């Protein structure tokens, strides 16, 4: 595995070794010891899989009281994966990083605690698998509206498909101190 720093500190892009032949391919996408060598010391406790269709935008979500680090990969299709820094005292507070993840490039995106996460589907269908470092906790869940005018994420979708829940998320400018990481 090759682990590279992303533009925003603490975010990592992981490139597994892929062994391809006439049968298909094999890749190792998770090895705790290699992640620890790169400074990723999260105990992952839950795996999630989502299936979404072209132009779907999911997010931007995070958990405040029980924050989750995430290790995200797209096992079918192509997504634009996005992490927004919601750590108030960070030099990159309110900034985002976007990474293309696909079943072709095999990359994974490590997102530590303190970031809101979301993605858009660029292919006809996408299956996204991600590990999280804390169990899902609905009372702890927070979010930012996907089309926030201050963050200005270009999701690269023609006609966004958004859940009712995500449409009702607050704008970044409306977040109070109790809704961000201090």
Catalytic-residue membership of 130: yes
Q: What is the 3-state secondary structure (H, E, C) of 156-180?
A: CCCCCECCHHHHCCCCHHHCCHHHC
Catalytic-residue membership of 129: no
Catalytic residue among 61, 110, 117, 154: 61
Asked if 58 and 141 count as a contact pair (C-beta separation under 8 A), the reply is no
**Any long-range contacts for 162-165 (C-beta under 8 Å, 24+ apart)?**
162/57, 163/58
Asked if 131 and 70 count as a contact pair (C-beta separation under 8 A), the reply is yes
Catalytic residue among 62, 96, 110, 130: 130
Residue 113 in tokens: 């605690």
> For the chain, how far is it from start to end, CA to CA, in angstroms?
33
Which residues are tagged catalytic?
Answer: 61, 130
């Amino acid at each position: 595995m090759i682990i590279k720093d992303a533009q925003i500190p603490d975010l990592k892009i992981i490139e597994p070794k892929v062994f391809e032949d006439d049968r298909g391919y094999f890749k190792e996408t998770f090895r705790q010891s290699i992640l620890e060598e790169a400074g990723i010391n999260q105990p992952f406790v839950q795996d999630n899989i989502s299936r979404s269709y072209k132009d779907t935008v999911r997010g931007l979500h995070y958990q405040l009281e029980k924050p989750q680090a995430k290790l995200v990969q797209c096992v079918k299709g192509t997504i634009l994966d996005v992490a927004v820094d919601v750590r108030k005292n960070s030099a990159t507070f309110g900034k985002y990083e976007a990474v293309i993840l696909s079943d072709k490039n095999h990359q994974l995106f490590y997102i530590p605690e303190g970031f809101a996460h979301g993605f858009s589907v660029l292919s006809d269908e996408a299956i996204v698998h991600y590990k999280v470092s804390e169990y899902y906790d609905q009372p702890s869940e927070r979010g930012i509206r996907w089309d926030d005018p201050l963050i200005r994420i270009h999701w690269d979708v023609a006609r966004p498909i958004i859940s009712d829940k995500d449409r009702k998320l607050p704008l970044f400018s409306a977040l109070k101190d109790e809704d961000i990481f201090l």
